[in-house]
């Protein structure tokens, strides 16, 4: 009798989609979390990243919000190679622009292609290289560069047990665009480290450091976050929340922030 009741409760829980991914339908939450920590994993994901930034503007009382829609889609080229597309589509709000009303609109779109071997290399090293493009799609001069940019991008990482350690980098030069806007020569360095705590929970730390070679200026936000893989019905998802501190930034830039990310995951069946 007790066994029948337990089975009945399990069937109800599965039908409502309230069990964790690792219990429901045999999908391992820790494996999904590990793939999510790898920017070039063979996993379709659609992160909706919300950035709430504070302490901006001349009086350090301004607020900014950016929603980054960041689809990551892998394609198989052949038995040896994959290509991973990573696109960042920013929707931005700013209330700290001197002499202007609050701004809301689309920013410049950033698109990267990573060509990566299907099998990890010596020592379990995963890597990918390719081009990155900056598209001048901003609806306001303040929200974008007015320039079309391009350059190289690359990534290298190693996953060992619960640990993921790696670096993503790119450099973008302006190659076309409005003549009355300044040229672009900008480097991104993004070292990252994460640790899987089990049950689909991951603690991560990274910096998204950019260096503007034209303005001779660093921008260095440090991000610490905690994420959890879960499932609603048949849909695998991840939610992340964390804090951001700007260790270095131009005058008038935000000083700290909060980041949340809701990611829709589409693992291979």
Reading the chain (269 residues) residue by residue, the pLDDT tens digits are 444 444 444 333 333 343 443 344 334 888 889 888 888 888 899 999 999 999 998 888 899 999 999 999 999 999 999 999 999 999 999 998 766 778 899 999 999 999 999 887 777 899 999 999 999 999 998 899 999 999 999 999 999 999 999 999 999 999 999 889 999 999 999 999 999 999 999 999 999 999 999 999 999 999 999 999 999 998 999 999 999 999 999 998 999 999 999 999 998 76
Torsions phi, psi of 22, nearest 5? -65, -20
3-class DSSP state for residue 15?
helix
Alpha-carbon dihedral 197, 201, 203, 207, rounded to 10 degrees? 140
Closest C-alpha to 27, from 222, 199, 161: 199
The DSSP code for 122 is G
- pTM for this predicted structure: 0.86
d(CA 63, CA 258): 12
3 state SS of 41: coil
Of 74, 49, 70, 53, nearest to 62 by C-alpha is: 53
Cα angle for residues 156, 159, 165 (degrees, 5° grid): 55
Domain ranges of the chain: 21-266
Q: Is 36 helix (H, G, I), strand (E, B) or coil?
A: helix
- Residue 2 CA to residue 257 CA, distance in Å, equals 51
- ∠ CA 249-251-257, nearest 5°, is 50
* Residue 245 near residue 35 (C-beta atoms within 8 A): no
Nearest to 226 by CA among 191, 198, 255: 198
CATH number for 21-266: choose from 3.40.50.720, 2.40.160.40, 1.20.900.10, 1.10.3720.10.
Answer: 2.40.160.40
Answer whether 34's CB lies under 8 Å from 229's CB: no
């Amino acid at each position: 009798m007790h066994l029948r009741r337990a089975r009945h409760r399990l069937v109800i829980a599965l039908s409502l989609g309230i069990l964790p991914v690792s219990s429901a339908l045999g999908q391992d939450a820790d494996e999904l979390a590990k793939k999510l920590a790898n920017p070039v994993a063979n996993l379709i994901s659609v992160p909706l990243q919300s950035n709430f930034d504070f302490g901006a503007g001349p009086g350090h009382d301004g607020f900014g919000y950016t929603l980054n829609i960041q689809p990551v889609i892998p394609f198989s080229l052949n038995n040896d190679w994959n290509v991973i597309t990573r696109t960042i589509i920013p929707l931005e709000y700013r209330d700290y622009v001197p002499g202007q009303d609050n701004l809301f609109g689309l920013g410049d779109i950033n698109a990267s292609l990573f060509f990566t071997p299907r099998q990890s290399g010596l020592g379990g090293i995963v890597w990918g290289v390719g081009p990155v493009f900056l598209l001048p799609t901003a609806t306001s001069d303040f929200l974008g560069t007015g320039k079309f940019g391009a350059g190289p991008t690359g990534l290298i990482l190693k996953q060992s047990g619960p640990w993921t350690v790696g670096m993503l980098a790119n450099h973008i030069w302006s190659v076309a665009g409005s003549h009355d806007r300044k040229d672009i020569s900008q480097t991104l360095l993004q070292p990252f480290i994460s640790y899987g705590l089990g049950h689909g929970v991951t603690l991560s730390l990274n910096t998204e450091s950019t260096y503007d070679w034209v303005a001779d200026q660093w921008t260095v936000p440090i991000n610490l976050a905690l994420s959890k893989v879960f499932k609603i019905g048949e849909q695998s998802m991840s939610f992340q929340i964390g804090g951001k501190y700007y260790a270095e930034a131009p005058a008038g830039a935000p000083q700290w922030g909060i980041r949340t990310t809701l990611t829709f995951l589409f693992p291979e069946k």
